[in-house]
């Protein structure tokens, strides 16, 4: 029996639960506010409670790996539990790891997060192509082989990124485009030659707080079938509003994963389910 690919699962999540993705971000202050210890034990309980609250309300979660990694080996151990519980619950799991390297090293990162049955298995991972899109060949091939996904950092929401990500590429096929625009176009091109359905397995990260025109991002190209999915941080705590989704992402809003973390998690464990439902409904109205 062939399992559904990341693209197929993402499309089903959009159809069944909408576009909201809840971040699993156990910040120190949130652990304290939730009455949990600032430790791997607290992060474990936090993650499992978020997963439980998401089931039936949204279809996508995004664990921020750094908040588990800071606790060392035990942090990774409890993260494995959170990832497993989320995937067993039918949620699409995007591991926010932002790994980037080349050769056998980037291959090993792909094996860690994209291999079926691996302790850290997720449905997709965020990845950096600072060394060039071609350096991603191993994880790109692993994603295709295992039906997994990648979200390539293109135009991120931090203001410091603009100087680098708007720089103009001087060589090869994307010469003349910005770094962000060139990376996005390489993802589009990969999906055009490898996708087997209306959505590709390879997406891009576009922060909702940036002006895509400044970054040379062609939203129409991303939306064209096979569509290149967008992972969009920056909503809620960082300032972007759900009401602006269609204005910001235009025709690509239909394949945009809208992430929110602290603005939902700050509601606390008792009100978390209601907060997720309320935010999912607001986003659904904005995208309809």
Say if residues 120 and 112 touch (Cβ distance below 8 Å): yes
DSSP 120: T
Choose among 78, 134, 123, 117: nearest CA to 96.
123
CA atoms of 9 and 11, how far apart (whole Å): 5
Q: Is 207 exposed, middle or buried (0-12, 13-18, 19+ CB in 10 A)?
A: buried
Candidate list 98, 148, 177, 277, residue with the active-site label: 98
- What DSSP string runs through 121-150? --SEEEE--TT-GGGGHHHHHHHHHHT-EE
Based on the residue annotation, tell me whether 277 is a catalytic residue of this protein.
Answer: no
Of 18, 36, 21, 30, nearest to 267 by C-alpha is 30
What's the burial of 209, exposed, middle or buried (CB within 10 Å: 0-12/13-18/19+)?
middle
Give the distance from CA 158 to its chain's centroid. Answer: 16
The DSSP string of 91-103 is: -EEEEEEEE---H
Active-site residue list = 98
């Amino acid at each position: 029996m062939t399992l559904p690919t990341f693209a197929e699962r993402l499309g089903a999540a959009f159809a069944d639960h909408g576009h909201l993705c809840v971040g699993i971000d156990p910040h120190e202050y949130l652990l304290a506010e939730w009455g949990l210890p600032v430790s791997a034990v607290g992060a474990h309980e936090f993650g499992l409670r978020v997963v439980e609250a998401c089931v039936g309300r949204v279809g996508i979660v995004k664990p921020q790996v750094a908040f588990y990694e800071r606790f060392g080996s035990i942090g990774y151990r409890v993260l494995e539990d959170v990832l497993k519980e989320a995937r067993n619950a039918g949620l699409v799991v995007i591991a926010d790891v932002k790994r980037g390297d080349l050769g056998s090293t980037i291959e090993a990162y792909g094996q860690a997060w994209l291999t079926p049955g691996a302790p850290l298995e997720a449905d997709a991972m965020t990845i950096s192509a600072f060394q060039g899109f071609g350096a991603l060949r191993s994880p790109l091939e692993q994603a295709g082989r295992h039906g997994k996904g990648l979200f390539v950092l293109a135009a991120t929401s931090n203001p410091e990124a603009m100087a680098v990500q708007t720089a103009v590429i001087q060589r090869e096929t994307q010469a003349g485009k910005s770094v962000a625009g060139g990376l996005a176009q390489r993802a589009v091109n990969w999906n055009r030659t490898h996708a087997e359905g209306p959505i590709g397995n390879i997406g891009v990260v576009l922060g909702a707080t940036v002006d895509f025109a400044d970054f040379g991002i062609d939203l129409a190209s991303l939306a064209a079938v096979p569509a290149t999915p967008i992972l969009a941080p920056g909503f809620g705590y960082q300032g972007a509003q759900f009401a602006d989704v269609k204005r910001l992402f235009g025709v690509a809003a239909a394949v945009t994963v809208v992430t929110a973390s602290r603005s939902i998690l700050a509601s606390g464990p008792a009100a978390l389910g209601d907060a997720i439902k309320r935010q999912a409904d607001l986003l659904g109205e904005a995208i309809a």
